[in-house]
Each structure stands twice: as C-alpha cells, then as structure tokens.
C-alpha cells in the first residue's frame, strides 16, 4: 500500500517536472508557481515528508509536532534523516524526497547561497505575524523553530561555596582552582566568543570576532584545560568523574546527571545560542501542506509542548505563558537567558570558519 503511494508520487513528480519545465519562466516570475499545486496540492495529498536530524530530537518532534498535526489535518508526516550534502544533491537534481527541512539556521544560509530553498511567503504563515520571533531567527528562506546553546557548567562542590558567574570567572584559575574543559574543533565551532567575553568584550560587541585577541585569551587558559572535548557526552563524564571542575557543555546534556543527584550546575551568563529552523526545499511536492506544518509548529502551545519534552528553547516568546516556571528556568530562550546570552553570528562563522579552523590547529600544536 505504502509502496504504491510512493510510486504514484514519483510518477506525479515526473509529470510535474515536465510541467515545471514548460512553465519554467512563469515559475520564476511568481515564486511558488501553479505547476506545483497541480501535482501535489490540496486535498488529495495526505503525506508530508519532513527532514530532521532524528534521535531524541526527532522523537520530540514526532510527539509534540507531527502527531498533533496529523490529528488536526489528517496529513500524515513521514520523516527522513539525511545530511546536508544529501539534501543539497537531491534538491539540485530537482527531486527532493522531502517537503519540509528542519535544520540549523547555519545550513539555511548555505541553502541560500546554493539557491536550494524556497523564499518563504510569510503571508501564508498566519501564526508568524503575532509570534514575535526574534529578527535573528527569521531568514528569507527559513523561520526559527527553537534555540539550543553552549553554556558553562561546573561542580557545585568544587569552589567552597563560591559560584562562578561569568566566563571571566571560568578564566580566573586563581580564584576558581581546578582543571577546565572546552570544546574541541571536531565537535562544533570553536568557542572564541567565550574567550573574548572573559577578556572583557561586551556581549553586544562580539562580532566581528577579534580572532587575534581570542586566541591570546585562549592561550592564557590553555595550561588549565585538561581536555578539549569532541563528543557531546564527554563534559558530563569529565565533570562527573571530577576530572575537571568546570567545562563548556551543550545545554541539556547534564540534565539526567543533575536529576540523578550529581553536584553539577549550569551557568547561563554568556551562553552561546544557535537555532534550528524550518524551510521548504526548491522542488518540494507538497508546498501547501509544508506551509501548514510550519505554521502549526509556530503555535505557542505546540512550542511549549516541545519544550516540555526536550530541553530546547521555544522561538515564540508566547510559549512561555504556557510553561511552568520550573521548566522555563532551564530553557535557553527564557526572558532572562535571552538577556544574559548571545546569538552566534552564523554569517560571520560561515565566512571565517576555514581560516579559524586552520589557526586553531596551529594553536593547539604550538
């Protein structure tokens, strides 16, 4: 049964491809063209395919977004977990097997450069207008769905009752004695921002990053950094085994340890936020349903339900009205944490990543 449906889809897509070829000029003229709605649109398409990164993140999506969406609209949601390069290859061949992309906002900047994602028609997203999503989370081809963050974590039993409250304290190995851990190049973008904050750069003056100054500050703490961690689980192990007393960590990774009674805590000042967004690939088969799903995901109650299951911050502020304060206090986009942290500048990193990576490698071997 399911196979037959796929065959039909592929066939229709082929027909649509011919139609799209014929109406190519009119398509470029009017954006989301009529050729598409003939093939996929409206009532007869009952399946929508979403790309997300899977794992517990994907499971939370299923519970908080996809299943309620199916219940309300009757449109089934299928999921594929493919990487950026595969998505791009499918889009460039003109036959993406997915209708909605759930991916990091950084990847959407790359999609923009490759002209691989639809320019969104925000008039079709009813919930967007009153959502009040931060401008940094709205691109022409994507709208932010939730935040994640790198934060500081420390052992509460390590400093004799003192609590580090900033990256400057993290760097101050005289007052806060003990080994540190920071993120390695293999895991994600290097934490130059934390070094600059520790060196006295204000939150709103970080970008463009002063790379020389950042590496100078990193050199000051290099001797105390026992491990540059390269997998998300390692900070929890290092802190739990007392190998280090403070580390950067992807927020959420310590929740289970803290709930299990480990003397660990997050420190939110200077948290580096990144975000996931939703967009539509060029050549998607079900554009109408794709807009419906994106709009659905921006409802405050859906955003709140997601945050209850998975420790990522809602992008829609109104979601916090529907969350218990205990949950809200541990989320990256709560009003206080929005003040005390900063958004990673995706464009700066895309422009400078290669040079910084090279410099990082030379720095570690110096």
What is the three-state SS of the chain?
CHHHHHHHHHHHHHHHHHHHHHCHHHHHHHCCCHHHHHHCCHHHCCEEEEECCCHHHHHHHHHHHHHHHHHHHCCEEEEECCCHHHHHHHHHCCCCCCCEEEEEHHHHHHHHHHCCECCCCHHHCHHHHCCCCCHHHECCCCEEEEEEEEEEEEECCCCCCCCCCCHHHHHCCCCCCCCEEEECCCCCCCCHHHHHHHCCCCHHHCCCCCHHHHHHHHHHHHCCEEEEECCCCHHHHHHHCCCCCEEEEECCCCHHHHHCCCCEEEEEEEEEEEEEEEECECCCCCHHHHHHHHHHHCCHHHHHHHHHHCCCEECCHHHHHHCCHHHHHCCCCCHHHHHHCEECCHHHHHHHHHHHHHHHHHHHHC
- Distance of closest approach, residue 179 Cβ to another protein, in angstroms: 8
Compare residues 87 and 316 and give the one whose CB is closer to another protein.
87
Compare residues 191 and 295 and give the one whose CB is closer to another protein.
191
Compare residues 220 and 362 and give the one whose CB is closer to another protein.
362
- Distance of closest approach, residue 154 Cβ to another protein, in angstroms: 16
- Distance of closest approach, residue 364 Cβ to another protein, in angstroms: 4
Please choose, from the candidates 143, 197, 153, 170, the residue with its C-alpha nearest in 3D space to the C-alpha of residue 341.
197
- Spatial distance between the Cα atoms of 11 and 86, rounded to a whole number of angstroms: 22
* C-beta separation of 205 from 229 below 8 A: no
- Distance of closest approach, residue 362 Cβ to another protein, in angstroms: 4
* Terminal-to-terminal C-alpha distance of the chain: 61
- Distance of closest approach, residue 188 Cβ to another protein, in angstroms: 9
- Distance of closest approach, residue 359 Cβ to another protein, in angstroms: 9
Compare residues 153 and 307 and give the one whose CB is closer to another protein.
153
Compare residues 172 and 188 and give the one whose CB is closer to another protein.
188
- Distance of closest approach, residue 237 Cβ to another protein, in angstroms: 6
- Distance of closest approach, residue 225 Cβ to another protein, in angstroms: 8
Binding residues for another protein (CB under 8 A) = 179, 184-186, 226-228, 230-231, 234, 237-238, 241-243, 353-354, 357-358, 361-362, 364-365
Compare residues 43 and 241 and give the one whose CB is closer to another protein.
241
- Distance of closest approach, residue 238 Cβ to another protein, in angstroms: 8
Compare residues 107 and 118 and give the one whose CB is closer to another protein.
107
Compare residues 2 and 241 and give the one whose CB is closer to another protein.
241
Cα 334 to Cα 150, 225, 290, distances in angstroms: 15, 30, 28
Compare residues 3 and 186 and give the one whose CB is closer to another protein.
186
């Amino acid at each position: 049964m399911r196979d037959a449906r796929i065959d039909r889809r592929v066939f229709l897509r082929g027909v649509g491809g011919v139609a799209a070829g014929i109406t190519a000029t009119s398509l470029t003229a009017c954006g989301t063209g009529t050729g598409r709605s003939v093939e996929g649109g409206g009532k007869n398409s009952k399946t929508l395919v979403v790309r997300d990164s899977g794992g517990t993140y994907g499971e939370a999506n299923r519970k908080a977004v996809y299943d309620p969406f199916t219940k309300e609209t009757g449109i089934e949601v299928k999921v594929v977990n493919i990487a950026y390069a595969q998505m791009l290859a499918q889009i460039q061949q003109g036959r993406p097997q997915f209708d909605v992309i759930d991916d990091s906002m950084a990847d959407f900047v790359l999609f923009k450069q490759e002209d691989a994602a639809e320019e969104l028609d925000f008039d079709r997203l009813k919930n967007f207008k009153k959502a009040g999503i931060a401008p940094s989370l709205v691109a022409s081809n994507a709208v932010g769905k939730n935040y994640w963050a790198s934060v500081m974590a420390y052992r509460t039993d390590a400093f004799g009752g003192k609590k580090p409250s900033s990256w400057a304290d993290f760097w101050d190995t005289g007052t806060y004695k003990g080994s540190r851990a920071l993120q390695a190049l293999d895991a994600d973008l290097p934490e130059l921002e934390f070094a600059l904050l520790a060196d006295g750069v204000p939150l709103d003056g970080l970008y463009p990053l002063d790379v020389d100054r950042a590496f100078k500050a990193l050199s000051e703490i290099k001797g105390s950094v026992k491990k540059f961690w390269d997998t998300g689980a390692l900070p929890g192990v290092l802190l739990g085994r007392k190998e280090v007393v403070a580390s950067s960590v992807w927020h959420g990774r310590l929740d289970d340890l803290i709930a299990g009674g480990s003397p660990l805590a997050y420190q939110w000042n200077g948290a580096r936020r990144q975000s996931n967004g939703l967009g539509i690939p060029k050549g998607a088969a079900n554009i109408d349903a794709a807009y419906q799903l994106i709009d659905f995901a921006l409802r405050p109650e859906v955003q709140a339900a997601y945050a209850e299951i998975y420790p990522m911050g809602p992008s829609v502020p109104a979601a916090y009205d529907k969350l218990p304060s205990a949950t809200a206090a541990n989320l990256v986009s709560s009003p206080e944490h929005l003040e005390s942290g900063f958004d990673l500048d995706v464009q700066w990193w895309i422009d400078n990543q290669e040079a910084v990576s090279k410099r990082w490698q030379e720095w570690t071997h110096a």
